[in-house]
A and B are shown apart, each in its own frame.
Chain A
Amino acid sequence: MNPDAIRDKTAIVGVGCCKFGENWTQSPEDMIVEAAYEAYADAGIDDPQRRIEAVFCGAAYPSRGTAEVAESLKLFDRPVSLVQNYCATGTDAFRYGVFSVACGLYDTVLVVGFDKPKDRGVSGPSVMMSGVRELPATPAGWFALCAARYFEKYGATREDLARIAVKNHHNGTLAPKSMLKREITVDDVLKARIISWPFGLYDCAAQSDGAAAVVLTRRELAKTFRDDFVLVRAVAIALAPNPQSDPSFDFLGWKPTVYAARQAYAMAGIADPRGEIDVAQVHDCFTLTELLTYEDLGFCDKGAAKEHVAAGTFALNGELPVNTDGGLKSFGHPTGATGVRMIYENVLQLQGRAGLRQVKDAGVALSHNIGGAPQTCGMTILARP
């Protein structure tokens, strides 16, 4: 891999996001149009039919695939592709958009991430039992697998996890488009009904509907859209063996994040993540996922996450604020939209437009998704020029 190949060649000039939540009255079309037209407006594009040369979509459970986006936006006679990569779906769609611009094929492209799980009539993910051995438990049961061993080795407890939920609930109250806007206490988290040990209800992300969109252009053209554009420093995707059968897995962290971080940091030239990154959006599908991600991304030493959680290192006013908009936990988790929503938040942070949750002087922002069993991780690193 040539780490310099795409660095800073692509600029984000427009971002958009619909309100995440149980959008009973909105169709996927409604959400896609809302997010894309907000991104157009943000980029100052009033003629998308002429300016958008290609569309990269991400959806984990689309009902009609690419046509869902092309028909919603009436973007025909140009490439429209759909990417699926578990919870890194939106990040991967963005990654292909970046490549298409960085290589010089297109001037300006649109990235759309969306999902509409709340049309399925179930609370939480449904369990589709198509085989006999694929799904011994629910997603909470897959992500919980590190808990027993990590707790035993490093002495972490449900209370450490609860503090992460409390932080993300607080941050969510400050984000206008978040699904949940409710402060909670550590006690609330500990007393909630158990979903899959050690996860109680508040340890689990809020599954929601949503769509988010980003307009990408070549760096040289960025100024024609806006002065405060944001550069794409790194994009990464890495797969790791299924942790449920990986013969060498230690259940103390997730390999996909370690692998993806290696790529992303090489591209961005980052040696000291905690010192060099100013704000991060990480995949908090479950509280433990966020806790392990601090360590897997090198934000702190292995086993030290709980001390940093207690000390507030990752709080809004901490050394490295994480999940400033409430994360999956509070903002909501429409799988395909989540990675793009994180980019939306990071762009607002880098442009100083994040309102009450603004991190002071943010110059470098990281986003991170992990999904599957989990087996896949997607990351981006964005920076002010």
Chain B
Amino acid sequence: MIGITSYGAYVPVTRLPLALIGGSRGEGGPEKAVASYDEDALTMGVSAAVECLRGFDRAAVDAVFVGSTTLPYQEKLAASIVAKALDLRRDVATADYGGSLRAGASALRGALDAVTAGTARCALVVASDCRMAAPRSALERNIGDGAAAFLVGDTRCILSCEGLHAVSDEILDVWRTAGDPFVHTWEERFVVEHGHRSVLLEAVRGLLQKTGLAPGDFARAAFYAPDPASHQAAARAAGFGAERLQPALFGRLGNTGAAFAPMLLVAALEEARPGERLLFASYGDGAEASAWRATAEIEKLGPRRAMNWHLGHRRAIRDYATYLRPRHLEAAEHDVRQAPGISATVHFRERDHDLSFRGARCRRCGTEQFPPQRVCYSCHTRDDFESLRFSDRPGRLLSWTLDYFFPTPEPPLAAGVVQIEGGARAYLQLTDVASDELRCELPLEFVFRRIHEVGGKPNYFWKATPLRNTRLEPQ
């Protein structure tokens, strides 16, 4: 049996109330999830993947496939950065899927193909997007940021794959050319009638014909849709009533691009009971539909942060500029991108520490240290260390400050010395933390973030954030 063995999702905690875009104040109305100033498609993907790998052996992962339209580099693989941040083996296959809203579904298909072909036994799929539309455009109100991740394997599947059907289509409905930061669309009625609705239907009908299944065989359907109305309409046309349609979360998350349908599949998975069938349909330059059936394993999967958890953890930003500033949509006196970039050779030498957050333990005296040293801080033994990953350990805040002088889009910057469980310490920035939460001994965990953009490149490192309970009920 081949299918999904684990899942995770990530939604940035920051939400932009749509009213702010129009210049109004206030919270409580429709909103969308927006990446914080230190997040992008890659960091969100890593966060979703960390949840997906919770309780799983990272050394078992044979392949990483990342699907997104907004990966930080046009030339340079995101999947390899993700693999390094997750501290996976060196002999993993890595590939990025891009160029289409269907990129997440394509990455999932790539993983299924690899496992089916036997070139991988365990493949990690990451779907993540962080798209931008022109400020104050209708599309800006529509799109949001988020990520989903799946493990695909051939044993202990929680969801077995019962069939796939893909359709390719050429249409200028949604596009973004090189160098343009903004997504564009053609007129809405054309896009829906000749793009989304008809092509998605074609893929779903093809799948049903191939598998011999009927809409009534499915407990829930995770459908991509550009907007709430076409979501309902497409589902109805495909034979799925509102009761079996996985809610699209417009007004809460927004359309999360290549991650949208995968995130809805995660949401459906969280409610699925053994034996139930799920339909997954993704759209973009064609469409792809797949049929899945939950197994008894689904009830054995440990708790993780996925859609339910993230929907319950939100913090509304107070003004529109907080959204515009880190996206460079508002002129700034000092643009950190103009600063000289980091050295590629230093980055190369320090990638185990900076990307995998690996430190060392002295074999002689047991003292753990970060970054790794040649001579032990405690017993001064030379070159007798073992390398250890700290990223998935808890920590606690030893001491802290709120720095109002540090150049950050959202001052003040919280920084502190973190005691990593096991003994090592690191001076880190804190993120997704309220100023009044800071106190000595605050329990912390580590998250992979964009530390700055000097040299016009995303530069990644780990930050600390208050430890949140995995099982925590939504607020």
Q: Which residues from chain A sit less than 8 Å from chain B, CB to CB?
A: 124, 127-133, 136-138, 140-142, 144-149, 152, 193-198, 241, 243-249, 251
Contacts and interface: CB of A to CB of B under 8 A. Distances in A.
Contacts of A138: 403, 405-406
A131 B404 CA distance: 21
Contacts of A194: 402, 404, 412
A149 B438 CA distance: 12
Contact of A149 (B367, B378, B398): B398
B425 A127 contact: no
A132 B404 contact: no
Interface string B283-301: 0000000000000000000
B385 interface: no
Given A129-B454, A152-B440, A245-B426, A136 B415 contact: yes
Interface stretch (B172-180, B183-191, B334-342): B334-342
A198 B412 CA distance: 12
Contact of A245 (B399, B427, B440): B427
B15 to A, nearest CB: 26
B417 interface: yes
B404 A245 contact: no
A145 B416 contact: yes
B404 A193 contact: yes
Ranked nearest first, the 6 interchain pairs of A and B with the lowest CB-CB distance are: A244-B427, A144-B401, A132-B461, A141-B403, A137-B415, A196-B403
B407 A127 contact: yes
Contacts of B223: none
Contact of B377 (A148, A197, A247): A247
Nearest to A134: B427
29 contacts: A127-B407, A129-B339, A130-B343, A131-B342, A131-B343, A132-B452, A133-B371, A136-B415, A136-B429, A140-B403, A141-B403, A142-B427, A144-B401, A145-B417, A145-B427, A147-B399, A149-B398, A195-B403, A196-B401, A196-B406, A197-B401, A197-B402, A197-B412, A245-B371, A245-B377, A245-B424, A245-B427, A247-B368, A248-B378
B377 A145 contact: no
B230 interface: no
A115 B336 CA distance: 25
Nearest to A128: B339
B98 to A, nearest CB: 25
Given A138-B403, A149-B398, A245-B377, 18 more contacts: A127-B406, A130-B342, A131-B342, A131-B346, A132-B452, A133-B350, A133-B461, A136-B413, A137-B413, A138-B405, A141-B401, A141-B406, A145-B427, A147-B399, A148-B401, A247-B424, A248-B378, A251-B398
Contacts of B402: 194, 196-197
Given A124-B405, A148-B399, A130 B340 contact: yes
A136 B402 CA distance: 11
Contact of B367 (A145, A195, A247): A247
Interface in B358-392: 367-371, 377-378
Contacts of B342: 129-132
B427 A136 contact: yes
Contacts of A251: 398-399, 417
A244 B426 contact: yes
Given A131-B346, A244-B417, A251-B398, A137 B403 contact: yes
Interface in B418-455: 423-429, 438-440, 451-452, 454
Contacts of B370: 245
Residue among A127, A141, A148, A197 having the largest count of chain B Cβ atoms under 10 Å: A141
A129 B401 contact: no
A247 B425 contact: yes
Interface string B119-163: 000000000000000000000000000000000000000000000
B459 interface: yes
Contacts of B428: 136
Interface string B55-88: 0000000000000000000000000000000000
A246 B415 contact: no
Residue among A124, A138, A246, A248 having the largest count of chain B Cβ atoms under 10 Å: A138
Contacts of B416: 145
A109 B451 CA distance: 47
B412 A149 contact: no
B96 interface: no
A197 B416 CA distance: 12
Contact of A145 (B368, B378, B401, B438): B401
B97 interface: no
A143 to B, nearest CB: 9
A248 B369 CA distance: 11
Residue among A130, A142, A246 having the largest count of chain B Cβ atoms under 10 Å: A130
B250 interface: no
A131 B343 CA distance: 8
A132 B405 contact: no
Contacts of A145: 399-401, 416-417, 427
A251 B417 CA distance: 10
A233 B468 CA distance: 56
B460 interface: yes
B72 to A, nearest CB: 14
A149 to B, nearest CB: 5
Given A132-B451, A145-B416, A148-B440, A196 B405 contact: yes
B31 interface: no
Interface in B164-200: none
Contacts of B427: 136-137, 142, 145, 244-245
B40 interface: no
Nearest to B462: A133
Nearest to A373: B427
Contacts of B423: 247
